[in-house]
Amino acid sequence: MENLWWFFGLLAGLVTAVYILYNQQIKMKPALFMVYRGVGLALVMLPFSFFFPFNPGMGFWLLCVITGLVIAYSDNRFFNVVSSCGAEVGSALQPLSVGITFFMWFAFKPMQIMEYWHMPLRFAIVLLCLGGFTWTILMISHNSNHYKALKYLLPSLCLAAVIDNLQKVIMDFGLNDVYAASFYYIMITSFFAGLGNFAVFIRDNKNWQQMLFERRSLLLGMIAAVMVGIAVAVKNFGMAYTPNPAYISALIFLYPVWLKIMNNIYQRCRSDCCYERVSSKLLLFLLVSVIGLILFGRPSLS
């Protein structure tokens, strides 16, 4: 499966689009959703841990805990930015983290710099593809307030890059058993990320028990949590085999395109609903960038 990292990245982006569309339909409060996605998902997974014997060493477990805590802090910071700038602007600027992720990975694997050094043309093509991809996604999700919000969102973009790099390191720890490594990564990071979000949820909602255990919210929230778990699991497989975590991040950030395609399909089914269509030129440019990234993404020819 080593050469299928791009397939897992594309699939993770598609699943991400599905659960975002689902969450838009159920209109659940973000804070409540984060609790279900975190602690709720971890508790659902816990009984199945007996089917995944795994002993990767303390480094794996420690990094999972750290990543979970970073995710909790990142989520909280991102939602604060969203409350100031709007969800559309915050989400639209997230692809800018791809470039940060790409260069940050060299701190974790400096030997890859030398591999690219001996292949300058390939390195230049990869940079062009990443740049072209990021620019196209920003154009597809264009908003006049983007650049005003960037200074507030920049720390969140850096945190997202840290999370993706840690996820790649963790999955490298578990290459001998990717299934078990992915399972425990999801369970542990979800639990510790969920604890932080749970604390914020309790602080901001006096009737948190009623909200949390309301039957409809519980059912819909756990369905959404399972979707998130599937998306992260597929992403884990991509991270395990990709040369650089930025490649998987880039492919996942295709989800705005998948959303627009789904919305256009929905538009055809309802005459009273209208969505903005994606420019065919932008789609072509995006396709060229993605194909170039898949073909030239590996620093070596092996």
pLDDT 10s digits, 185-207: 999 999 998 887 788 788 887 88
CB burial of residue 29 (10 Å; 0-12, 13-18, 19+): middle
**Statement: residue 218 has pLDDT above 50:** yes
Look up the pTM and report it. Answer: 0.84
- How many Cα atoms sit within 13 Å of 226 on the Cβ side? 6
Q: What are residue 55's phi and psi, to 5 degrees? A: -140, 75
For the chain, report the end-to-end CA distance as a whole number of angstroms: 14
Q: How confident is the model at residue 270 (pLDDT cuts 50, 70, 90)?
A: low
Mean pLDDT for the stretch of residues 256-284: 65
pLDDT 10s digits, 225-260: 888 899 999 999 999 999 999 999 888 888 777 777
Find the helix or strand (DSSP H, E) in which 89 lies: helix 87-93
Identify the weakest region by mean pLDDT among 6-20, 149-163, 220-234.
149-163
Whether 255 and 19 have beta carbons less than 8 Å apart is answered as: no
How high is the pLDDT of residue 298? 67
Q: Is the dihedral of CA 260, 262, 265, 270 positive or negative?
A: negative
CB burial of residue 106 (10 Å; 0-12, 13-18, 19+): middle
**Statement: residue 284 has pLDDT above 60:** yes
